[in-house]
Structure 1
Amino acid sequence: MGDHENNHEQRLKMGREKFALVTGAGSGIGKSIALALMRDGYSVALSGRRRDPLEATAQEGQAYGTRCLVVPTDIADPTAVKHLFDEIRQHFGRLDLLFNNAGVFIEAMSLEQLSVQQWQSAVDINLTGAFLCTQEAFRLMKDQTPRGGRIINNGSISAHAPRPQAVSYTVTKHAITGLTKATSLDGRQYDIACGQIDIGNAASEMTDTIAKGVLQADGSIRPEPVMDVEHVARAVVYMASLPLDANVQFMTVMATKMPYIGRG
């Protein structure tokens, strides 16, 4: 039995098995963080729109000896989110960590070209989806024993400074900051901690174009530095490792030389 399996067995014997939900767990940042949590001994529920990528994440995570629950979910649909949490209750019995990660970045276009349908899609997935998962997590965490848990929201550098021609992503990520603060405040009475990680240019499918060349505020198109997504995963595992009487409220992890400080 390997070290990871030994760690998991020790957690079980000591009654400290922990359970997490990662949305958007089939690829990119979500997949990396789901695997990092499994490596750290968490049993993880994997949520995303497509089953096959979730199953691939679960398959890769088998090496760590923890339990994995695959639940394809459209997080913009309240009924689907309720089903997701019903599955977590049935199979895990509790939830210690929610990582709100699922999101969509609509192709770059000027504000006046963005259709109402495109705007609504971004709001539904990036913002309403995170709210629905947070709401269901509250209902579960406040009533479980021991009470409480932690919610970590994937903000973004765009929660602070916009990219050009990205109004829907920028607005929804700014709103995630408000959701983080409101969740942190309202969660106090239930021992629910909430923090936010703002990620800049972690290497993933979403940042392929950034590394090749992306529109800048001055109208030019230039490649930007990216960083290994594993640095983000390690940061989230650290945030999750704290006891509930301590919290990383906001953390920024970014490629050192990306145009953020002084952007524009």
Structure 2
Amino acid sequence: MPETASNPAATKVALVTGAGSGIGQAVALALLADGWSVALSGRTETTLRETADIAGASTDRVLVHPTDVADPASVDNLYAALRARFGRLDLLFNNAGVSLAASPDELSFDDWSRVVSINLTGSFLCAQGAFRLMRDQAPQGGRIINNGSISAHAPRPNSIAYTATKHAVTGMTKSLSLDGRRYNIACGQIDIGNALTPMAARMKGGVPQANGEMMPEPVMDVSEVARSVLFMASLPLEANVQTMMVMATNMPFVGRG
């Protein structure tokens, strides 16, 4: 039987973490609209179900599974449910994350640990689960796309925990890309700047700059991020976008602070 979106058993399968809002929701909706089957993962079942309802996709193409990405047992349960429902995984969009504004001298150990646990350890655990499944499935292989952020290149003021984890995600992406070659697993990273989500809405009203000033910043529609991820995901496994940066054209990132 040919592989078409009307044949759920043959449809490509994606897992999106942080799928209940913002970038994760936009990417999940784009994948579902493109005919993928999608596992929706996040901390809150209500928001995940809202994503599924917005998509209006048939229930045989959607799996809603609340997950704490920083908890190995919770991630194991996610992959067990995904395997039982869809049988394989073709794409992980490794997106779940949190941000926290704090000066280095005022950042508590608990807050540091929470950001590291979700943004770095959580990304690793989800990538590890995808790697194992993609290695063992037939046909072998798949793609992992990590959400790095422009903070993987340069910090904002008072972002030491977030920026440190996003720099680490870049190293993880490179290691996964290298180690995945023998299993036909491609891994790339998308670095996103000023996509208009609830988390980023404050940028239009003014955010701290490197010179100490407050300044509004331009934003772009989050659907452009979804289109970019969809392009990366559409490539055959023989090709890989190792790193893509998509950003609001006039944001101050490329200027000197």
Q: Same fold (TM over 0.5)?
A: yes
Aligned to 1:230: 223
| Identical positions, percent | 62
Aligned to 1:170: 163
Q: CA deviation at 1:14?
A: 10
Please name the residue that 1:133 is paired with: 126
Counterpart in 2 of 1:3? none
* 2:206 matches 1:213: yes
The total of aligned residue pairs comes to 256
**Is 1:184 the counterpart of 2:177 in the alignment?**
yes
Task: Give the counterpart of 2:255 among 237, 244, 262.
Answer: 262
Measure, in 1, the Cα distance between the counterparts of 2:180 and 2:3. Answer: 31
Q: What corresponds to 2:74 in structure 1?
A: 80
Unaligned 5+ runs, structure 1: 1-7
Name the structure 2 match of 1:38. Answer: 32
Distance change (3 Å), C-alpha of 1:152 and 1:164 = same
1:181-223 per-residue CA deviation (whole Å, 9 max, x = no partner) reads: 0000000000000000000000001101111110000001111
Aligned equivalents of 2:18, 2:219: Cα separation in 1:
20
Unaligned runs of 5+ in 2: none
- Structure 1 Cα separation of the partners of residues 186 and 206 of structure 2: 38
Within the candidate set 1, 14, 19, 1:20 is matched to 14
Which residue, 90, 94, 102 being the options, matches 2:88?
Answer: 94
Contact 1:148/1:192, CA 8 A, preserved across alignment: yes
Residue 41 of structure 1 contacts residue 64 of structure 1 at CA under 8 Å; is this kept in 2? no
Matching residue's letter, 2:175 = A
Aligned-pair CA distance for 1:224: 0.4
What's the offset of the Cα at 1:61?
Answer: 1.4
The runs of at least 4 consecutive aligned structure 1 residues that moved more than 6 Å come to none
Matched, 1:244 2:234: no
Shift of 1:95: 0.3
Q: How big is the shift at 1:39?
A: 0.8
Displacement of 1:9: 8.2
What TM-score results when the alignment is normalised by the length of structure 2?
0.96
1:42, 1:66 within 8 Å by CA — same for their partners in 2?
no
1:201 to 182, 194, 200: 194
Cα distance in 1 between the residues matched to 2:238 and 2:90 = 14
3-state SS of 2:202 partner: helix
State the shift of 1:63 in Å. Answer: 4.3
For the residues of structure 2 that align with 1:207 and 1:11, how far apart are their CA atoms? 33
CA RMSD of aligned residues (A): 1.6
